[in-house]
Amino acid sequence: MNIKNYKTKILKKRSINLIPAFTQLLSKNPNRFDYNIWPTYYTKAKGVFITDNDNNKYLDMSIASIGSVLTEYADKDIDNAVINSIKNGVSSSLINVNEVKLAEKLCKMHKWSDQIRFCKSGGEAMSIAVRIARASSGRDKILFSGYHGWHDWYMSANLKNNNNLNNHLFSNINPLGIPKVLKNTAIPFRFYDNEQLINLIQKYKNKIAAIIVEPIRNDAPNKIALKNIRKIANKNKIILIFDEISSGFRICNGGSHIKLKVNPDIAVFGKGLGNGYPIAAILGRKKIMKICEKIFISSTNWMEATGYVAALNTIKKFEKKKLYKKLIINGKKVKKIWEEAAKKYNIKLDIYGIDPLSKFDFKYTKKKNLIAKKILISTMIENKILGSNIYYAMSAHKDEHFKKFSKALNLAFLKISKKIN
């Protein structure tokens, strides 16, 4: 199938000259997929379909706007509520009433929390959480595991060694532009490696402001290990922060820690909270959050109303239909399709991730892995599907979509088998 991409090629050339690093979000850079064939730009996203700049319509079985859309694109229930809020004015000289309503709703869902601050993205929400923890504790150092954004506090981990973030973000990230005085203020530890965590606490005793972890990362949640982290934080009087930006609303209504029955001192939400609309939240215990009355955390567009309205209606839909169950089911379906096709065509895969955030890696040489991924993506594109080795579940995916996806995947794995086996 010959895919039209003339307009896209022109737009890419214009972008290269105008936008450093090509786009605002590394995860959407076409080089992360296949620069020459990935559609890159969209003009319409509706349901589970995306129309590109050349009017090609694709079934999206890939990254669901980097995991920020949980139901479907242009969800009519959420969009209609947002449109009504736009008609009433998204900003004014006063505070929108939905700020208080969303605060009450989130604190009610997470009964351990008392107070909340809002902003517009997960990365800045994590920076706010770190600021609050440092101000409340009077300490500077942060121990963390996982990916938590692009801000200076996090990227400073690579000032000591360019490899420090290798297993948390990407390999060999150069910390250019990060003040050298921040060196050794953010120290990574291996996920669920409590022995390493204890050793770091002993090394930096009475200097640690917070421990930051994602309750769920690439593997199945380890409730015992998470409870032990909670105990370690309690014993050493260290604030425990859960980054729920990716894991929130995936396995239950609210933070994954509700399901795991382990409560933090601060929890941070973003991505799916607004089903594609910009909104993020920092929930915390009053004894910690009250420091916000003494420090400066403020921004004009955090007050804009659409994010609050989108979040309230996303939560409403999740509670009414228990959509997290659908996300889990859909993730299991995709994993099964991967597994069965891999077995049929003798493709070596490593499948991992919680069901709503499923991934796999080819298990060959680096060169063969690149060849296999290129064949996979190109075959999907030829069949009008956006698909790679990542599936972030949307609740709107139906059996007909999985059937089409399975057919294209089997064709791709057949080609891969002939090429590299």
Residue 75 CA neighbour count, 13 Å, CB half: 25
Q: Which of 170-179, 340-349, 378-387, 392-401 has the lowest mean pLDDT?
A: 170-179
CATH code of the domain in which 365 resides: 3.90.1150.10
Q: Which of 114-118, 213-217, 331-335 has the lowest mean pLDDT?
A: 213-217
Q: Model pTM? A: 0.95
Helix (H) or strand (E) holding 141: strand 141-144
My answer on whether 100 and 13 are in the same domain is: no
Residue 359 phi, psi (nearest 5): -145, 160
CA distances (Å), origin 58, targets 135, 172, 253, 257: 48, 34, 30, 35
**Residue 1 pLDDT > 70, yes or no?**
no
Query: For residue 261, is it within any domain?
Result: yes
pLDDT on residue 165:
86
Pairing of strands 349-352, 357-362: antiparallel
304: its two tokens = 């804009």
pLDDT (tens digit per residue) in 243-296 = 999 999 999 999 999 999 999 999 999 999 999 999 999 999 999 999 999 999
Query: For residue 161, is it within any domain?
Result: no
pLDDT (tens digit per residue) in 352-398 = 999 999 999 999 999 999 999 999 999 999 999 999 999 999 999 99
Dist. CA 348–CA 331, nearest whole Å? 20
| Residue range of the domain that includes 226 | 78-145+189-321
Which residues are paired to 44 by β-bridges? 51
**Residue 96 pLDDT > 90, yes or no?**
yes
Question: According to DSSP H, which parts of 290-420 are helical?
Answer: 305-321, 323-344, 366-382, 399-420
Query: For residue 226, is it within any domain?
Result: yes
Query: For residue 182, is it within any domain?
Result: no
Whether residue 372 contacts residue 383, with contact meaning beta carbons closer than 8 Å, is answered with no
Whether residue 214 contacts residue 243, with contact meaning beta carbons closer than 8 Å, is answered with yes
